[in-house]
Every structure is written in structure tokens, then in C-alpha cells.
Amino acid sequence: MNPQVLVCGAGPVGLTMAAELARYGVGIRIIDRAAQRTDKSKALVLWSRTLELLDRSGCSGAFVAAGHRVEAANLIAGDRRVGHVSLAAIDSPYPYALMLPQSETERLLEAHLASLGIRVEREVELAGFTDNGEGVTANLTRADESAETLTVDWLIGCDGAHSTVRHTLGLPFGGETLRSDWILADVHVTGMKTPFDELVIYFHEDGVLVLFPITPGRYRIIADVGRSEGLAPADPTLDAVQRIVDRRGPDGLHLSDPIWLSAFRINERKVETYRAGRVFVAGDAAHVHSPAGGQGMNTGMQDAFNLAWKLALICRGTVAGDRLLDSYGVERSTVGAQVLTAASRMTALAVIKNPAAQAVRNWIGGLLFGLSPVRRTMANTLSEISIGYPHSPLTGPGLHGLDGPAPGERVRPIPDQAPIGEGAMPRFALFGRPDPAIDDLLREHGDLLEPDLRPPLADDSLWLVRPDGYVACVATDADVGRIDDYLKALSR
């Protein structure tokens, strides 16, 4: 029996996509051209919202146990600390940035996937595919030169910035490559006086220097090294990184035992559409941007969480029609554009070279970081708990003047309650007070609703919450029909 979905690419996004679909009972295969998962640290941080979504899958604990919690960020300009952002105020069960090398993230995701009975098929490459409107025929090749023709209902390209799926679809990848060179070094550092649970950003006249703690004594160092000229920059030596740290950072730091030394340029690109017929793109196949803020991998993994529950409802025959699947691109393209813009702005501020402009930046930064609402907004934005879908086609009506999240906004995980969407079926949760009319609603839509009513989020109201934890619509206790109408409209 052929699987329903082929996932192309087994990085963090593809593994998340495959695990979520498998959890929901969808038949899948996942392939990757590489012989083994990455051994590089690459993407380094898991943010609060990603951990909340992993909690639905029952595996967030393994990530937290393996990672290192960073609870604050410091901004240093010259000899003065101009900003300190505590992440403890993030309104989440995970009020921190979890530092975890991508190699470990992939290991844990692959183990989670294996627990669901799915293994990654490695050294298997997507050579091409055809979407005939009723299914997708994929041509696969292996390292031993054998070939396979596979027919599936859906294909998802999680195959990175050079995506075969995106290229085959002919989706424009609009944007630019920034004309600046950067270095990255994962090294051991001694002499650091900043607490190990805090990262530090140094603004210097030569450029920015950032130190991220990874494990005791080990840090990631990122710095810009000037305008690009010609070919891609060569990887730095440890001595070159030491010289940059000596000039831009605090006194007394000593670097040793490099694990990874690399140079890179920043690409800022995004597709306009995330779906073409029966084919989707997600993660770096759909958007790439500056590493500022550590949003890239998290945004891609959240692409996967968003699409998986919707596609599962289609694959299981619970919902029909295109409205649900089309919402994936609408919602995630908007988020991708927001993340790209924010990361671009942070990068532009970091690489200012004009001395007068640097002085203004540092002065204004000091003023803004002195305001608690600014610090709170920054923490919520970085952690991605502020992401919402207010303009989604899936966002229904709300109630004016209600104390609580509006349609399209995230529902904070509630202590001592099971995570929304944790089960083996993608179901909406209903929050409200017991009533015979609600009992009828739960019975009528048993394939879409959790069987048990959850306690109300506010008095005299009903809250319908999507499987990924965002409010779908809100009604009064007396207007159960609004919830009924919303659920019936999913298939239209």
C-alpha cells in the first residue's frame, strides 16, 4: 500500500513534519539525500513557542533535558551595558531560549520519529515529480543507482534553501544576498565573566560580536567582518577569531579547541506561495533570512506544525475541500514575511559602520531598553509566543470586550491541563460551561472536537481552539450555533 505523503528532506523541519503526520496516523515516507544527519551545530536555539508545540507531541521534555537554558540577553556598547532583556517574563511554561545544537535537535527528532515506527530513508534523492491533480508521481534515485517510481497523494518539500521541490515547481525565490561577510565559530572560551545563562551582544565600531553559551565552557561566536567582495569568504582561523574577540569583546577571553569554524553570507529570500496543487514547501525551501534572533529553524518547524494537522484532517477524510489547506500558505507566508523583516532590521542595526549613526543607535537603544514594555515585547517576539493568525481564512468571529485571547491568537498552555492537540487525532478543543446544547455539539462533531469540554477561559463564553492552540472563534454560551457553523464551514 502506497503512503499518503512523501516528505522530502530530513532536517528539523522535515523530521517535525513526518513525526506530526505519523502521530496523526497518516501513512508517510521521509527521504534525504545525505548519508547521515548533520554533525554540525548549525541552528542553535529552540524558542518557547516551538517547545510548547513539541509538548503536544509528548517529546518536549527530552529537548529540555538535553539543552541549556539561556534566561537573559545583554547589549554592550563600548564599556557600557545599554540593555538587559530577561526572558523570565515570557508568558510560557518555557520562559527561556533553549540552546541545543542542530545535530542534537535532529537526533532527538529522529528518535521521536522512530518511536512512531518511521525511519528516515537516507541516500535517497528526489529526481523529479509530476502532479496530475489526483496524486503526485515522484521519481526517486538511490546511491546504488537504483530507481523507484512512487505515487502519493501529497508531496512536501522540506529540502532546504536549494530545494528540488521548489525548483521543480518553478516558484520564484525573491530577495537578495546581503553584501556583508560573517564568521561563525563554535569554540571553548575561558575568562567569560557574564553568567553562563546569558548571551551577550557587543556593538563595536568595527562591527557586531555575539557570544551564545552552548554547554559549559563552549560558546558560539558570530561577527560581521565587512563588506563582501567577489567570491564567498574563506573559513576563518582560530587566531583570526581570537583577534576579533580581543578587539570587540571584553578583556581576558581565550579561545581554544574549535569545533566548527565557518564563514557565510546572509540570504533574505521567500516564496510568495507555499502550495502548488498537491505539493507544499516548508522551512528553508520557503524562506531564508538572517540568523539574527535565531528564528529560522523555529519558523520552519512551526510551518510543519501548522500544515500537519490540516493535512491529517484531509488524509483521514475528516474534512474535504481546499479551504483548510490553502490557509497554510496564507498563515505561514505572513509569518515568514514578518520574521524576515524583523531579522533584516536587526541585522541592519548591527552592521552600521558610520560612527555618528552608531552613537545614535547606541543612545536610542539605551533609552528603549530602559522601558519594560519594550523589553517585554522583544522577549515575546523572539520567543514567537506573539505569533498569531488574525487575518487567516480560518479565523472566525469573536466577542467585543472579552478578557482573553482573540480569534487568531495563541492560548497559553494551562497548568495541569493536557496540551491542546496532544492526541492521536487532530481535534479542536472547546472551552466553556456544561450545557445540553454543548453536549449535542460534542456528539455531532465528535470527529473534530475533543470529547470532553474544557473549563471556560472567561465567564459566559465558548472558546473554540484549533489543534495547534490558536483561537478559532468565540461565542456566548447562548450562541452554540456560531461554533456549529464554524465547524461545518471547514469543508466548504
Digit-coded pLDDT (tens) for 200-245? 999 999 999 999 999 989 999 999 998 767 677 789 999 999 999 9
pLDDT (0 to 100) of residue 91: 93
pLDDT (0 to 100) of residue 228: 67
What contacts 24+ positions apart, CB below 8 Å, involve 215-219?
215/68, 217/188, 217/189, 217/190, 218/186, 218/187, 218/188, 218/189, 218/259, 219/186, 219/187, 219/188, 219/189, 219/192
pLDDT tens series, the chain, 492 aa: 579 999 999 999 999 999 999 999 999 999 999 999 998 888 999 999 999 999 999 999 999 999 999 999 999 988 888 889 999 989 999 999 999 999 999 999 999 999 999 999 999 999 999 999 999 999 999 999 999 999 999 999 999 999 999 999 999 999 988 888 899 999 999 999 999 999 999 999 999 999 999 998 999 999 999 876 767 778 999 999 999 999 999 999 999 999 999 998 888 999 999 999 999 999 999 999 888 878 899 999 999 999 999 999 999 999 988 899 999 999 999 999 999 888 888 888 888 888 888 888 888 888 777 788 888 888 898 999 999 999 999 999 888 777 888 999 999 999 889 999 998 999 999 999 999 999 999 999 999 999 999 998 877 789 999 999 999 999 988 889 999 999 999 877
Q: Angle, to 10 degrees, between the axis of helix 296-315 and the axis of helix 12-23?
A: 30
212, β-bridge pairs: 220
Instruction: Please state, for a pLDDT cut of 70, what percent of the chain lies above it.
Output: 99
First to last CA, the chain: 30
In a 3-state reduction of DSSP, which class is residue 228? Answer: coil
Pairing outcome for strands 174-190 and 254-270: antiparallel
pLDDT (0 to 100) of residue 296: 92
The CATH 3.30.70.2450 domain(s) of the chain lie at 175-268
pLDDT (0 to 100) of residue 346: 83
Strands (E), 191-253: 198-204, 207-215, 218-227
Find how far residue 124's CA is from the centre of its chain: 26
pLDDT (0 to 100) of residue 319: 92
C-alpha cell at 421: 492537540
Q: Are 437 and 481 in contact (CB under 8 A)?
A: no
In a 3-state reduction of DSSP, which class is residue 336? Answer: helix
The CATH 3.50.50.60 domain(s) of the chain lie at 5-44+101-173+271-349
User: Span 389-492: which CATH code?
Assistant: 3.40.30
The CATH 3.40.30 domain(s) of the chain lie at 389-492
| 69-85 residue pLDDT tens | 999 999 998 888 888 99
User: Span 175-268: which CATH code?
Assistant: 3.30.70.2450
Fold type of domain 5-44+101-173+271-349:
FAD/NAD(P)-binding domain (3.50.50)
Listing from the earlier edge strand, what are the strands of the sheet with 136-142?
A: 124-131, 136-142, 147-152
C-alpha cell at 260: 566548527
400: exposed, middle or buried (Cβ count in 10 Å: 0-12, 13-18, 19+): exposed
Spell out the residues 6+ positions from residue 170 whose beta carbon is closer than 8 angstroms to its own.
none
Cα separation, 57 vs 461, in Å, equals: 28
Q: Cell 537554558 belongs to which residue?
A: 69
Spell out the residues 6+ positions from residue 172 whose beta carbon is closer than 8 angstroms to its own.
271, 272
Give me the sign of the Cα torsion angle 260, 263, 265, 271: negative
